[in-house]
Every structure is written in structure tokens, then in C-alpha cells.
Chains A and B, each alone.
Chain A
Amino acid sequence: QSALTQPASVSGSPGQSITISCTGTGSDVGGYNFVSWYQQHPGKAPNLMIYDVSSRPSGVSNRFSGSKSGNTASLTISGLQAEDEADYYCSSYTASNSYVFGTGTKVTVL
């Protein structure tokens, strides 16, 4: 099972919107609406930001939104803030009855 493909880095200025892509195959991202996104600050455990493609857990800012088209899922952060600077990982359930994570994206707030 190959890791989902994410851009290594994405940057934006405070207040701007950025989008992180997550590309898989029809056996994972494209085949199931079970894509999740996790935020990870340095030295910390990951934190769930989006689940089931576009649902937000309680307590997560509505500046975070998720979507999917075909084999590619996306995470959009609007109104970028300094505290959003972190690594972001997507994840999907797969046809092999397993999970796969993405390669990770470092978000930098300029």
C-alpha cells in the first residue's frame, strides 16, 4: 500500500486561504468517503481536524474544511493564522481493509 501523495510544503500569508491536496487511487481515497486530516505540531501527537472527507470534530475551527473529487481529497484552511503552522497528514481507509496516511505537508505562515 503506497502512501497518499501530498505536496511537501504549502505557504501563505496571514488571512489568506491555502489548500493541501491528497492524491490516492480508486482503492483508497476514490473508493471511500473515509478521508481524514490530521494536524501535527512539532513534538506533539496528531490532532484530528477533518473526518469522513468534510466533517469537523467539535472544537475544530470552521476555518478548516475538507472536500474530495475523484481520487484527490483536499484540505482548505481559510483565514490563515500563525497557529496553523504545522504538519498536516491525510489518511484514508483502503480496499485492503487497512489505513494509509499521506506523505505529509508542512504549512508555513509567512
Chain B
Amino acid sequence: QITLKESGPTLVKPTQTLTLTCTFSGFSLSTSGVGVGWIRQPPGKALEWLALIYWDDGKLYSPSLKSRLSITKDTSKNQVVLTMTNIDPVDTATYYCAHRKSTSLSFAYWGQGTLVTVSS
């Protein structure tokens, strides 16, 4: 059974760096083709894809946020970490991590999400 869970601060001040951790079970990020992605959703708004890391440490980033994002993995801990620099109130959102199947470019399993509020 594949599960993912996001963790991190619930309140962040503007200009700070946000660090979110996705802890997963039920799969290995060393398995060929597997990936873990991050997606966010501002309150009442649409989903926005942020980043993805592959089993081979390949990384993809949203073109519009690339300069502010970094994604890393710790295969031994079954964790993926997303950092976002220079946080702004518009970054207030629920942040989800999700498992990307090895046989498809879709996100089949999602975490419950974690709400991050950016405010001074």
C-alpha cells in the first residue's frame, strides 16, 4: 500500500525559505521509472505543479518557479524534500506530494496535503 505524507511549517514569514518533507512508504525511489512530485493549491484556486524528482536523481521544475525551487531525495529515509526560497504571501497554499507511476506520467497516489500560510 502506497502512502505519502507531507510535513513542514504551517506559518512562514515573507522572504524566508520554506522546507517541506514528503515521507512515503509502499514503494522505493530507487525503482526504475518512479518519481515523486510536488503540487500546490492556493485556497479556492487550481492545482499548480511545482517539481518532480526521478529514481535516478533527475529533476524537473516549473519553468516559472525554477529559480526558487530545489528538490532532493533521501532514498534510505524514503523522503523527498522541497525547498522554496524568498517566500511571499502568494505562496500560501496546500502543498501536496504525489507518487508518479513508472509506467505513466500521472500522479496515482497523493499525500493528504499540508497548508502553509505566509504572513508576517
Contacts and interface: CB of A to CB of B under 8 A. Distances in A.
B17 to A, nearest CB: 22
B24 interface: no
A51 B108 contact: yes
Nearest to A92: B105
A99 B46 contact: no
Contacts of B111: 45
Given A1-B64, A45-B96, A98-B63, A36 B49 contact: no
A30 interface: no
A48 B63 contact: no
Chain B CB within 10 A, most for which of A45, A48, A96, A98: A45
B56 to A, nearest CB: 14
B60 interface: yes
Given A38-B47, A103-B46, A98 B105 contact: no
How large, as a class, is the contact surface on chain A? 20 to 34
Contacts, number: 69
Nearest to A34: B105
Contact of B105 (A1, A38, A93, A96): A93
Interface of B: 37, 39, 46-49, 52, 60-64, 96, 101, 104-108, 110-113
Interface of A: 1, 3, 32, 34, 36, 38, 40, 45-48, 51-52, 55, 57, 89, 91, 93, 96-104
Contact of B106 (A3, A48, A102): A48
A101 B60 CA distance: 15
Given A38-B47, A91-B106, 8 more contacts: A3-B46, A34-B104, A38-B107, A40-B47, A45-B96, A52-B104, A52-B106, A55-B104
Contact of B39 (A48, A57, A101, A103): A101
Given A1-B64, A98-B61, A101-B49, A36 B106 contact: yes
A45 B112 CA distance: 6
11 contacts: A1-B63, A1-B64, A34-B106, A45-B110, A46-B110, A91-B49, A91-B106, A98-B61, A99-B49, A101-B47, A101-B49
